Amino acid sequence: MSPAGCSHVNGYKVDNWKQNLRVIYQCFVWSGTAETRRRKVLQGDAGWTELAKSCICHMCGAHLNRLHSCLYCVFFGCFTKKHIHEHAKNKRHNLAVDLLYGGIYCFVCQDYIYDKDMEQIAKEEQRKAWKLQGIGEKYTTWEPTKRELELLRHNPKRRKITTNCTIGLRGLINLGNTCFMNCIVQALTHTPLLRDFFLSDRHKCEMQSNSCLVCEMSQLFQEFYSGHRSPHIPFRLLHLVWTHARHLAGYEQQDAHEFLIAALDVLHRHCKGDTIRDDNGKKTNNPNHCNCIIDQIFTGGLQSDVTCQVCHGVSTTIDPFWDISLDLPGSSTPFWPLSPGGDGSTVNGESHLSGSTTLTDCLRRFTRPEHLGSSAKIKCGGCHSYQESTKQLTMKKLPIVACFHLKRFEHSAKLRRKITTYVSFPLELDMTPFMASSKESRMNGQYQQSVEVLNNDNKYSLFAVVNHQGTLESGHYTSFIRQHKDQWFKCDDAIITKASIKDVLDSEGYLLFYHKQFLEYE
């Protein structure tokens, strides 16, 4: 959308557009009266009464999936499954309103837009709905007074954020083989949504003693973004990690990946004030249905399809995950090149040199069908007997932050060693080919790698890389952190130095952190 705003709204502003928009906000967005909330239908208009029996998608019948209403005609369509997109394309109706939040979406601009007149109508109808519900104004926009503006100007601690600003960059003292912890802390403190959560003081602690890791992380974020340049000493964090993850206690060198999972687990358990409740108001203990900040950001859904080789019946399970561990060439696990040849082609933005392995290769291998063999037969529900089968993993739900663990440390009965195979990884990653929906489309003969299918919903940007130098017995962890767009820094315990993009992409890579480019809400 251009800085001047969306030009496509002008085609909508004809005849009684204001009244029509008010009707949509009154009955289908804010629904101020009990009757509109119950029926979601406009009384007195035969067209709306007949067609809009309730707020459900007119194509699939779902009433969730981010329902949108066309502004030109009576049509409800879900945004997640792109039924509203199909309607907009077929009818050339370029504007729709989100029925949950009231935002106006333009399908030409491919973005939510702002229009002063439409925004005014939305706010007026929202205030009317609040008044009808007896709750008054939920919030008012804060505008600083002249006195407050004067105080802000003369505040000596006031800091201006610029493109070259280094606030948020701070070294960490190594407390004795704690580089594994320091590099993960650097990655977490530069995770955008996690930073926003902790700096807005949204954690509600319910723990009795000073043993809450979430509270300590909140203090850590305050230290990082205070503007101080001297290295921080994370002794309290180390103590709490030793307390809650005893397998990491002691001054021996630990695995950074193991620390990451342990830290996320403890943070998840300590976010008690943020867990959702069931219909009876009780807290749910199901890890698949938690809305704490850790699960909102890091949890994805991994789909496992087991197919019987006799009747071809499919058994599907979906499990939550915080990271994806990927096998590498050179390990004892068989690995073969799955790239489109060594012809120097580019896949997912990765430069594909002859004989090299890419992150896309590893993901292709991870999501390929695997024959389980005669020693691992499963009892088929269709055959009612034990049969050989194939298993395939795909992504059912992508997390906001995708963490890829390259399995460089191999531990077996025969050997313990580090795999140093170079794996090239891109600055931008499209996860569409590895989605369960892409697999289903291919099976139905509908999958085409067009611009529309490879949409922005599944695109990620690299923002942190953790590296391990040395051997399995004696090594050191460092990390690369993206501070601003295309501005990277190397964090080596207390020392932080500027790094180039080439430095980042040429590094070995142990943990790769990617952030979604476009965020969806549910």
CATH number of 7-133: 3.30.40.10
- pLDDT confidence of residue 93: 93
In whole angstroms, what is the distance from residue 118 CA to residue 103 CA?
Answer: 10
Grade residue 45 by pLDDT with cuts at 50, 70 and 90: very low
- The model's pLDDT over 205-246, given as tens digits with 9 standing for 90+, comes to 877 778 889 999 999 999 998 888 899 999 999 999 888 888
Candidate list 8, 58, 63, 476, residue with the active-site label: 476
Is the backbone of residue 519 left (phi > 0), alpha (psi -120 to 50) or beta?
Answer: beta
pLDDT at residue 400 tops 90:
yes
Candidate list 70, 78, 179, 271, residue with the active-site label: 179
**Among 450, 459, 511, 494, residue whose Cα is nearest residue 182:** 494
Residue 179 designated active-site: yes
Grade residue 104 by pLDDT with cuts at 50, 70 and 90: very high
pTM greater than the 0.95 cutoff: no
pLDDT at residue 33 tops 80:
no
pLDDT at residue 509 tops 80:
yes
pLDDT at residue 87 tops 90:
yes
- pLDDT confidence of residue 96: 94
In whole angstroms, what is the distance from residue 389 CA to residue 480 CA?
Answer: 42
- pLDDT confidence of residue 142: 67
The pair of three-digit structure tokens given for residue 110, joined into one six-digit string: 């491919």
CA distances from 333 to 303, 330, 411 (A): 22, 8, 12
Give the SS3 label for residue 68.
strand
Length of the chain as a residue count: 522
Strand residues in 360-458 grouped as ranges (E)? 370-371, 378-380, 385-387, 389-397, 401-406, 409-411, 416-418, 423-424, 428-430
Computed over every residue of the chain, the mean pLDDT equals 81
Count CB-CB contacts under 10 A for residue 21: 22
Give residue limits of the domains in the chain.
Answer: 7-133, 178-258
